[in-house]
């Protein structure tokens, strides 16, 4: 409850400061942590082009959706999975006409070369007999990335054997950090997060057929500034934003 409360208070504070300052208009965008680098770059371009500031509130998509359901104000939601967006649509908290799928991604098994070599792990199947292995994933209760990882392990017949070895983290970037800092031996993350890694490499791409399609939808929140929020959602799908997303390893969906 405390992380959700802190997230709610942060969102309120951001809007209050913007309003009190009398400065240029800004919008608050709830953004999946896996999109942080790309959306920060896109937001800078949007502000330069329109004069409207963009504040990003980052986290696991499921956790962000819960904050919005509990009344946290904002303008746009950019999720790493359809599920959290479906929840908001079910509560009538987004404009359904504004909802659009903009990106896809891929899951990979990653590890530090020194650790994976020492443990004899070069593929996800090697986890089956890797005694004592610690596997970092995003918490399935907080982020779609964790749900995809769990689906993959179940589909590959590994979940029951490895469930006790899974280390859930608040979001996908935290899972990567666990591997980088040695708190986990391997991790299941999005391939796009490798841009934020220095000493971690891909061991194997997770078969896409082992989990639900990874789709990133965006939508305007009912509580949002309609015109600017709608404009930003459209901007996320334009040619320049698509170029930036591709440069970070995402695959843009047709407009």
Helix axes 2-21, 61-69, angle to 10 degrees: 70
Residue 71 DSSP SS3: coil
What per-residue confidence (pLDDT) applies to 19? Answer: 46
Instruction: For the chain, list the domains and their CATH numbers.
Output: 2-104+215-252 (3.40.190.10), 107-210 (3.40.190.10)
Chain segment 148-195, per-residue pLDDT in tens: 999 999 999 999 999 999 999 999 999 999 999 999 999 999 999 988
Q: What is the mean pLDDT of the chain?
A: 91
Which residues of the chain fall below pLDDT 50? 1-5, 8-10, 12-14, 16-21
- The residues, ordered by sequence, that sit 6+ positions from 240 with a Cβ below 8 Å of its Cβ are 42, 45
The CA R_g of the chain, rounded to the nearest whole Å, is: 19
Tell how far CA 22 is from the center of its chain: 32
């Amino acid at each position: 409850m405390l992380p959700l409360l802190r997230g709610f208070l942060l969102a309120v504070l951001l809007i209050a400061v913007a309003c009190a300052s009398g400065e240029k208009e800004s919008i608050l965008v709830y953004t999946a942590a896996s999109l942080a680098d790309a959306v920060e770059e896109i937001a800078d371009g949007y502000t330069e082009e329109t004069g409207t500031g963009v504040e990003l509130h980052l986290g696991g998509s499921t956790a962000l959706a819960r904050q919005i359901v509990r009344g946290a104000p904002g303008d746009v939601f950019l999720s790493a999975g359809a599920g959290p967006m479906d929840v908001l649509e079910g509560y009538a908290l987004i404009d359904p006409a504004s909802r659009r799928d903009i990106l896809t991604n891929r899951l990979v098994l990653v590890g530090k070369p020194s650790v994976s070599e020492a443990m004899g792990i070069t593929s996800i199947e090697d986890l089956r007999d890797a005694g004592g292995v610690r596997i970092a994933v995003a918490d399935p209760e907080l982020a779609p990335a964790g749900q995809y990882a769990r689906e993959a392990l179940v589909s590959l017949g590994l979940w029951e054997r490895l469930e006790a070895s899974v280390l859930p983290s608040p979001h996908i970037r935290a899972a990567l950090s666990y591997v980088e800092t040695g708190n986990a031996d391997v991790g299941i993350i999005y391939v796009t997060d490798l841009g934020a890694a220095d000493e971690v490499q891909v061991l194997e791409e997770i078969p896409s057929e082992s989990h639900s399609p990874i789709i990133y939808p965006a939508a305007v929140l009912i509580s949002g500034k309609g015109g600017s929020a709608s404009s930003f959602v459209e901007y996320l799908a334009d040619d320049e934003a698509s170029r930036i997303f591709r440069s970070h390893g995402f695959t843009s969906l047709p407009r």
